[in-house]
Amino acid sequence: MTDTPPCTPDELFQKLDDLGIETTTITHPAVYTVEESKEHCGDIPGAHTKNLFLRNKKGQMWLLVCFEDRKIDMKILGKALGAGKLSFGSADRLMEFLGITPGSVSPFTAINDKNNAVKVVLDKQMMKQSPINAHPLTNTMTTSISPTDLVKFLSAIDHSPEELDMDNLTQLAQDLT
């Protein structure tokens, strides 16, 4: 938690420019669900993301970035992350640590986590797609970025991501049922 105001999309774009990262951004009506995103952004090429802000009982937090259609078994995910039982972070916690409101969660929001309290986890299979599309701190825009540049950005803001084989998680969940 910090007293610094959260970054604006323009400040995010400046940071990306400073890092020599090329992106493309489109503006669209606000989207809050995967279905709304598909309606307004479905024709944008590349991988579209679902972003989950999660926490465990110990107060540890994760930002999971995966394919928008990925089915998530929270019990299996918690085991894979070594987190135990996971739940969704509250809107207040989301604002406190990532500086955004529900509907705008994305890997870019890690820029507001100045104390490195949130671990970023990326879907390994998603990272094989290019570009990756995510909200730039607001759900009224979508920014396309290459997987390499996404990792470059996250590393530059001290949030080197972990990649998780989400296909293996799906298989593990099927094996347990």
The answer to whether position 4 is within a domain reads: no
The answer to whether position 177 is within a domain reads: no
Claim: this prediction has a pTM higher than 0.85: yes
Q: How far is the C-alpha of 175 from the C-alpha of 156, rounded, in Å?
A: 38
Query: What pLDDT is attached to residue 176?
Result: 54
The answer to whether position 30 is within a domain reads: yes
The answer to whether position 132 is within a domain reads: yes
The answer to whether position 2 is within a domain reads: no
Which CATH number characterizes residue 148's domain? 3.90.960.10
Query: What pLDDT is attached to residue 134?
Result: 94
* Cβ-Cβ contacts under 8 Å for 154 (sequence gap 6 or more): 107, 110, 120, 160, 161
- Written as six digits, the tokens of 98 are 């990532």
Q: How many domains does the chain have?
A: 1
- Whether 114 and 2 have beta carbons less than 8 Å apart is answered as yes
Query: What pLDDT is attached to residue 54?
Result: 97
Q: Label each residue of 67-89 as H, E or C.
A: ECCCCCCHHHHHHHHCCCCEEEC
The answer to whether position 65 is within a domain reads: yes
Per-residue pLDDT tens digits of the chain, which is 177 residues long: 446 789 999 999 999 999 999 999 999 988 777 777 777 776 888 999 999 999 999 999 999 999 999 999 999 999 999 999 999 999 999 999 999 998 899 999 999 999 999 999 999 999 999 999 999 999 999 999 999 999 999 999 999 999 999 988 866 656 655
SS3 48: strand
Which residue range(s) make up the domain with 104?
9-171
The answer to whether position 1 is within a domain reads: no
* Cβ-Cβ contacts under 8 Å for 95 (sequence gap 6 or more): 101
Query: What pLDDT is attached to residue 1?
Result: 47
The answer to whether position 128 is within a domain reads: yes
Query: What pLDDT is attached to residue 42?
Result: 67
